[in-house]
Structures are given as structure tokens and as C-alpha cells.
Chains A and B, each alone.
Chain A
Amino acid sequence: MNVNRYNRQIILPDFGVSAQEKIAHSSVLVVGAGGLGCPVLQILVSTGVGVVGIADFDTIALENLHRQSLYSEQDVGLPKVITAVERLSKINSEIEIIAFQEMITGKNVLSMIHNFDVVVDCTDNFATRYLLNDACYLMKKPLVYASIFQNEGQVSVFNVEKENQITNYRDLFPVPPNQNEVPNCNEAGVLPAHSAVIGTFQANEVIKLLIDSPETLIHQLLVFNTKNYESMKINFKESTEKSGPKTLQDFLNFNYNEFCNNFDNNIRSHQELISFLNQNNSILIDVREKDEQPKITFAKILQMPLSSLEQNLNLLNAYTSICFVCASGVRSQKALKLVKNHFPDKEIKHLKSGIKSIQQ
């Protein structure tokens, strides 16, 4: 380790060579190399963390570039982890960088996190967030969490014992929100400075954790608003009732997509549609306007044009399984979203590519 390189952090009163050595002998896995992952990775690598892992399955898109500063125009279409490793190795060639170009699943997560000292949650969806949280809880891995919504961000540190308590994400939110209740950055929008600020806070927590700083966000949720600079720290405790899987075996059998309501709402074939309609209390609803062709004759239908669907929702009370259909799948998907909001307990699907896709 070249100590001169880290001189400006080593000379800090509560840092020193011993803290630098601790960092150099540490390993950190960053899950998600997007808006939070980019600043987190950049800081961990330049601070001198000995081994940095990156897990991401995605490729670089043009609309990522404004906030994901590890990537450039010529990288569009390339896997994020490949470009990230290339860039980060140029920043610091003294450390080891390990890439996992795969989606985190129940099958691979335990072996992936096993060899790292700290895991960082930079994911962008609830199914992966709960999966990673539960895996880290069961494996007793410190997990540094952050996530953002528009100008607000949340940061916390999980699975580190303090005052005889070990807390995790489920002690804040025992169960996930309904599908579509909380939009991600692709849907809600985000400014690059905001994801950089929250990612920087997250990286700061990782470094503080590695050097045993007494002031990390253990049992505390930091909420920070970059629009008005208001912040709030919420203390929280271990819940008496743990809502997640209690053993590794339970974990392996746990369906996170189902738990987070990430159901596949699409029907793709005539056969799939017929078997759906064979269920009790099922109905096919045509949301096209009354004069649109071709008419559906192969099944009993209810005609409810999308334009007047909301006023007639009471007609759906009697059905437990509903499939919407239109010409191309656009209106039927809108109908699905609308009705799912009103009847979250009903099984609702739509014909993905419209009526013409299944007519002989």
C-alpha cells in the first residue's frame, strides 16, 4: 500500500495509518452499479478498500449517463460491470475489483456475499432489496442501505450489533408496498446531484463502518432532502415480530417476486387465455370502443370501453379473475393498472399483444 497516496485522509485526527490499513484489508460488495452504485464505487475505490465487488446484470443506456458518472457515450449498450471495472481500475490499480455480471437471486446471493465484509444496497426495486436484506440478515453481514425518491433519500446501516440489538430493513418496513405504489427513478425522475449526494452519504457510512467509527447510522434512518436541505434522523429498534424468513432453508424457498407483487400480468397465447377463462368467476373484458373490429366470438365477453371503465367499476365486483383485451395491448394494460388499484385482491391480467395476436 502506497501510504502517500492516502495522505490527505490519513492525516485526519480520527483516521491515521491504522484506519487506512483496516480499509486496505477490507472487502465490500456493491449491489447495483447505477445512480447510487457509481458514486459509492468511485469513493470506495479511491479511498483504498482492498477488495471491491460489483454485482449488476444491466447494460448502459443513454438515459443513465446524466447521473451514472462511471460511464461515457461510447459505453452505451455495454454491460455496466465491464465498463465499471475498466474505469475503477484506472482510478486505483492497487486494489482488487471483482465483477458479478448477473442478477441477484436466492440461488446466487448467499455465495456472492459470503466472502465480503460489508454489502452495499444500491438496488432499484423492492424484490431485490428484500432478498438482499434477508440474505444479509441471515448471514450476519453488515448492509449499508440507501434509496431515493425524487429529491429525498434514505440511508441506514443494518445487521451491526449495538446496545444488544441488531436491526435491518424489515424493522423499518416489515412488508413491501403494493406494486406501482412507489415509483423508481425511471418513473419518478432524479437529478444527478441528488443520487450523487445520497450515494456519497452511503459510501461514507461504509468507510465509517470499516474503521469502527462510533457514529454510523446503526438503528437510525437518515432522511435527506436535497431540494430544501432538510434532514431527519429516525431511531428504530428490533421489531418483536420478524416478518422475513427465519432460516436459510426458509430463505431459499421464499418467493420474493410474489412477496413484492411482481406478478407476470401478461397473457400471450390463445391457449393461455382459454385456461385463464376456465377458472371460476372469470371474465374477458373488451376495452375497445363498441364498433371496433374484429369482434370476439370464442369466449363470453363483457364490453367496457376504457373511456368509461372507471365509472363502471362496480360491474366487476362479481368476478375474481379478470382478463382485459384491446387491439394492441396498450389500452388493456391501462385498464389492468386502473382496476388493480381498485381491486388489489383480484387476479387481473391482460392480453399482451392485443386481440389480433391470437386470432387465427
Chain B
Amino acid sequence: MKLKIFGKLTDIFTTDEYNFSLESIKSVAELKLMLEKEFPKLKETTYLVAVDGAKAENIQAISNESEIALLPPYSGG
């Protein structure tokens, strides 16, 4: 499964596209837990999760076909 990474989050992932295997992950909450374990800095970071082009809440189910993006807020103006 592919995850699109935006903004300063690419520093944490060191890439703008992160591939992972879904296995037991069934929801956004589980995905966040897995990613935060792999990348502990993510825990202290503000971001939203989008699934298939819409902002997703923690309870939203995800599957192998889901297109997922992690977006932080930007500050520049």
C-alpha cells in the first residue's frame, strides 16, 4: 500500500511516498498507531489523514485499495 506524504512530514519519513504492507491494519487509528511506532516523531506532529480524497476520522476503515495521504498544516504566507 502506498502512502503520500506532504510538507515537513517528508523529513520524518525521508520520502514523499511510503510503501507498507497492510496485514492486520483495518482502520485509520490502527494505521496511525503502526506509523507512530515506526516513526516515533510522528506522535508529536500535527497532521490529518486523508483516505480516498477525503479527510478521515480514526474509526474509518481502510483497505489495500485505499489511497492514503498524510498532510500537515502549513504556515507560510
Binding site for B on A (CB under 8 A): 32, 34-37, 121-126, 129, 146-150, 152-154, 171-173, 175-178, 181-185, 188, 190, 195, 221, 223, 232-237, 341, 344
Bound: A128/B8 CA distance, A: 21
Bound: A154/B76 CA distance, A: 10
**B77 & A182 in contact (Cβ 8 Å cutoff):** no
**B77 & A183 in contact (Cβ 8 Å cutoff):** no
B interface secondary structure, majority: loop
**Given the contacts A126-B75, A152-B74, A177 and B46 also touching, CB distance less than 8 Å:** yes
**Given the contacts A35-B77, A126-B73, A181 and B53 also touching, CB distance less than 8 Å:** no
**B54 & A125 in contact (Cβ 8 Å cutoff):** no
**A147 & B74 in contact (Cβ 8 Å cutoff):** yes
Bound: A215/B50 CA distance, A: 21
13 extra A-B contacts, CB within 8 A, seeds A37-B77, A153-B74, A234-B50: A121-B77, A149-B75, A152-B6, A152-B74, A154-B71, A173-B73, A177-B45, A177-B46, A184-B75, A184-B77, A234-B48, A234-B53, A234-B69
**B75 & A183 in contact (Cβ 8 Å cutoff):** yes
Judged by a CB distance under 8 angstroms, whether B37 is at the interface is no
Residues of B within 8 A of A190 (CB): 76
Bound: A125/B77 CA distance, A: 8
Bound: A188/B77 CA distance, A: 12
**A223 & B6 in contact (Cβ 8 Å cutoff):** yes
**Given the contacts A232-B53, A234-B53, A235-B54, A176 and B73 also touching, CB distance less than 8 Å:** yes
Q: How far is the CB of A234 from chain B (nearest CB, A)?
A: 5
Interface residues on B, range: 20 to 34
Residues of B within 8 A of A181 (CB): 8, 44-46, 72
**B48 & A172 in contact (Cβ 8 Å cutoff):** yes
Bound: A125/B74 CA distance, A: 9
* B20-45 at interface with A (beta carbon < 8 Å): 44-45
Residues of A within 8 A of B50 (CB): 232, 234
Bound: A146/B74 CA distance, A: 9
**A177 & B76 in contact (Cβ 8 Å cutoff):** no
**B74 & A182 in contact (Cβ 8 Å cutoff):** yes
**Given the contacts A173-B48, A235-B55, A185 and B76 also touching, CB distance less than 8 Å:** yes
Residues of A within 8 A of B75 (CB): 124-126, 129, 147, 149, 182-184
**Given the contacts A175-B46, A223-B6, A182 and B53 also touching, CB distance less than 8 Å:** no
Bound: A181/B44 CA distance, A: 9
What 7 pairs between A and B have smallest CB-CB spacing? A177-B46, A124-B77, A185-B76, A236-B55, A149-B74, A148-B76, A147-B74
Select the residue from B69, B73, B75 with max chain A CB neighbours within 10 A: B75
